[in-house]
Chains A and B, each alone.
Chain A
Amino acid sequence: MRFAVEVLVTLKPGLADPQGKAIEGALPTLGWRNVSGVRMGKHLRLELEAGSESEARTQVEEMAGRLLSNPVIEDSRILELREA
């Protein structure tokens, strides 16, 4: 079965996020002064062949932990997993 997956990778909470901080600092100069808590992450999209949805989920979780994210400083979670 073919599955379409979206994975979100974010910096672990509590870690410094220089990019989020820079974006947050720039928004007021464009007129938005009501924004806080900006964090920047990555969005990955992929498709895979697997026997079942739970098998697909297990595989993606492993991929996410080993390659798609750096578990030392990042968290990952599956945003969406559906049959393609």
Chain B
Amino acid sequence: MTDPLPSDLGRQLGLRDDELEMIRGTLGRDPNRNELAMYAAMWSEHCSYKSSKVHLRTLPTEGASVLVGPGQDAGAVDFGDGVAAVFKIESHSHPSAIEPYQGAATGVGGIVRDIVSMGARPVALLDPLMFGPLGDERNRWLLEGVVAGIGGYGNCIGVPTVGGEVRFAEAHSANPTVNVMCVGIAQSDRLMTATTHTPQLGSLMVLYGSTTGRDGIGGVSVLASATLEDGSEESRPSVQIGDPFAEKLLIEASLELIEEDLLEGLQDLGGAGLTCAVSESAARAGLGARLDLDQVPLREEGMEAFEILTSESQERMLAIVHPSKLERVREVCEKWGLATAVVATLEAGGDLDVSMAGEQVAKVPALSLTEKAPEYDRPMRPIPTDHDDPTFVSFDGDLREAVLSLLASPNVASKRWVFEQYDRMVQGQTVAGPGSDAAVVRVPGTMKGLVLSVDGNGRYGTLDPYLGGAHAVAEATRNVAVTGAKPLAITNCLNFGNPERPEVMWQFSEAVRGMRDACLALDTPVTGGNVSFYNESGGSAIWPTPVIGVLGSLTDYRLRLPSGFPSPALAVYLLGESFAELGGSEFAETVLGRVAGVPPALDLDAERRLQDLLHEAAAADLLASAHDCSDGGVAVALAECAILGGHGFAVTLAGDLPPHVLLFGESASRVVVSVAPEREGSLRGLAATRGVPFERLGETGGPRAVIDGMLDTTVIELAEVWEGAIPRLLGEKP
């Protein structure tokens, strides 16, 4: 092989000098340009998790129902009845900041392919999003583009978007956070795991789907042989354009291939494209691969080897096929109009041996690209806690005004503007969709329901990252618990700034520590996830935002609890305990104008007892509705129960705390429930036995929303403010 390169080029690709030394040591020589491109892509933070692995390893990953934990394309849990639920969350924030529609769209495409490659049909999408304040035109442009992109892609491939979150913070201005979670269903015996499906020596690697172009070739374009002139026809664009129609065909073809048991392995092409798919598949099987780039169907002319190797063109999959099954694989793909190409053969020896035009253009041990990628334990420096607590600042403002301004706050207000752009009905299994605490999706052929929720409060994260991580798990699982379901496992998307900054690395490790403690206490193992670092520009980073996606199970979907008050003349109870806690609250930010203090304390044992109680009480048919308290505390929770259910309430909030603290404090582990009068005794008895404090607040009914001495208005007024807020901010008619 000719053409050794100076280390200067390695640096330009983002490789450190010691990483280059590692590469030289492994190869026993200087890497050539193609090998440099492969290492630069595979050892990037995004692909290798080199800064996060050491911390992620501390997370609990085992559980009775876990079928597949972290390490494969997605996690899987045993759902019973021979069904496996496959799920994962991923970020696509950086591309969305540049081209919001396509960035979000290709984010959906990528996570869906991860689910399909496990052998599952995608049945639900959830999207947690964070933007800067909507008063800024650019943030409105980002919101509109991202939502349109998620809808445009998700709707077209026929996967319902059933939940999500939209939050706003100045820290996310120009650095939107776009995470997408996908859930799929597979027959347990068809699940494509590394243990059930092992690629064999001599088996073929078949690339199918769309052709390969120069999509995503950004940083590695410094390796281009030709000199590029600005604006010339030869310029290498980075923006990836999604083709949801091609994705839909890809999904159907892939599921047919799996149904007919034709594959030894299946991997989607995402970050680092062909290099990643081939090296990971080979390395996992303890083998190497001989890859012939001439076989790759190309969209553009004159593509160089390093481009073909690292292209991130969308809608492509890599199947591992025994030669005897190749014909049938081709037939299935052809039926769906997809091109197929045998690009590699699995070999002994462990090397990824790449040729083009009859010449060897790269030769690298597959393991060195994957498992043997560097790992860093980066330095950390704690950020001192902000003791400027807003809880004890006296508040003389009008309480009704405060309630209304919280309902109108973008974090709290109805997100109908967003979710009406998503098809939540396709596939016909959505029992509860956006707007509910958790989505409930039926599993066909059973009476079961998948219960799904995503949560992540960056405001808590910036004030105390440990609590931010713990609360994210607690709140997400609580949202599942309030439907009466049992949370089974979680996936996590960790959105942070630059890990080379010790403060950021500290925030990350603290958030992981909080997540770990909560996952252990609540018995929800982590089955996988994603880390998105470097979310900052101009020296300002996003709030540390650990986002948790939860998968839970309802044995009978018909027994799901609604969030809103379903009828009049029910008793309203608050389960859990209230303390004087306004630190990091929506009230403090929106009404007092301060993000300060410490987030509410989290007693994980109390949380566990609460969630277990909800499950038991729901199974015993003791509850009419349940809705958890989060942003805006009890006041907002009660208002939402009335708006969603269509019935008002008359309650009293007792206690020595100042009224605004009672109304808007965000103490954790609290749920507002409504109970039929004849069930009250049983609920009280059960709660007492299970050690969950409770307080009877009042009753449901009538057109008014009354909190004795604090609020007296109509449900209609609350609804108008809550529904109209986001359209008004976008300059539209509600």
Direct contact of A and B (CB under 8 A): yes
What is the interface of chain A, defined by CB distance below 8 A to chain B? 11-18, 21-22, 25, 70, 72-73
| Interface presence of B542 (CB below 8 A) | no
Interchain CB contact (< 8 A) of A14 among B210, B213, B242, B245: B213
Residues of A within 8 A of B241 (CB): 11, 15-18, 73
B92 at the interface (CB under 8 A from A): no
Cα–Cα, bound, A15→B236 (Å): 9
Contact present for A18 and B246 (CB under 8 Å)? yes
26 contacts between A and B (CB under 8 A): A12-B235, A12-B237, A14-B214, A14-B235, A14-B236, A14-B300, A15-B213, A15-B239, A15-B241, A16-B213, A16-B241, A16-B243, A16-B314, A17-B241, A18-B244, A18-B245, A18-B246, A21-B243, A22-B245, A25-B337, A70-B99, A72-B99, A72-B239, A73-B102, A73-B237, A73-B241
Say yes or no: A16 contacts B233, CB within 8 Å.
no
For A13, the closest partner residue in chain B by CB is B233
Residues of B within 8 A of A25 (CB): 337
Query: Min CB distance, A25 to chain B, in Å?
Result: 7
Contact indicator B245/A16 (Cβ below 8 Å):
no
Contact indicator per residue, chain B 204-242, by CB within 8 Å of chain A (1) or not (0): 000000100111000000000000000001011101111
From 193 to 210 in chain B, residues with beta carbon under 8 angstroms from any chain A beta carbon are 210
Give the tally of cross-chain contacts (CB within 8 A): 44
Cα distance A51–B18 in the bound complex, in angstroms: 62
The answer, yes or no, to whether B98 is at the interface (CB within 8 Å) is yes
Given contacts A12-B237, A18-B241, A73-B241, 13 further A-B contacts (CB under 8 A): A11-B241, A14-B214, A14-B235, A14-B236, A14-B237, A16-B213, A16-B215, A18-B242, A18-B245, A21-B246, A70-B99, A72-B99, A73-B102
Residues of B that sit less than 8 Å from A by CB:
98-99, 102, 210, 213-215, 233, 235-237, 239-246, 299-300, 313-314, 337
With most chain B CB atoms within 10 A of its CB, the pick from A12, A18, A70 is A18
- In the complex, what distance in Å separates the CA atom of A73 from the CA atom of B246? 20
- Least Cβ–Cβ distance between A70 and chain B, in angstroms: 7
B residues near A16, Cβ cutoff 8 Å: 210, 213, 215, 240-241, 243, 299, 313-314
Cβ contact of A72, chosen from B98, B214, B233, B314, cutoff 8 A: B98
Closest residue to A73 on the B side, CB-wise?
Answer: B239
**In the complex, how many angstroms separate the beta carbon of A23 from the nearest chain B beta carbon?**
12
In the complex, what residue of chain B is closest to A25 when comparing beta carbons? B337
Q: Which residues of A contact B245 (CB under 8 A)?
A: 18, 22
Q: Which residues of A contact B240 (CB under 8 A)?
A: 16
A24–chain B nearest beta-carbon distance, Å: 12
Most chain A CB neighbours (cut-off 10 Å) among B102, B239, B242: B239
B253 CB to closest chain A CB, in angstroms?
Answer: 15
Query: For residue A21, which residue of chain B has the nearest CB?
Result: B243
A25-B237 Cα distance, complex, nearest whole Å: 24
In the bound assembly, the distance between CA atoms of A17 and B314 in angstroms comes to 12
In the complex, what residues of B have CB within 8 A of residue A18's CB?
A: 241-246
Query: With a CB–CB cut-off of 8 A, which chain A residues contact B313?
Result: 16
Q: Which residues of B contact A14 (CB under 8 A)?
A: 213-214, 235-237, 300
CA distance A43 to B233 in the complex (A): 21
Shortest 7 CB-CB contacts between residues of A and residues of B: A18-B243, A16-B241, A72-B99, A14-B237, A14-B214, A73-B239, A15-B241
Residues on the B chain within 8 Å of A72, using CB: 98-99, 239
- Distance between Cα atoms of A9 and B99 in the complex (Å): 17
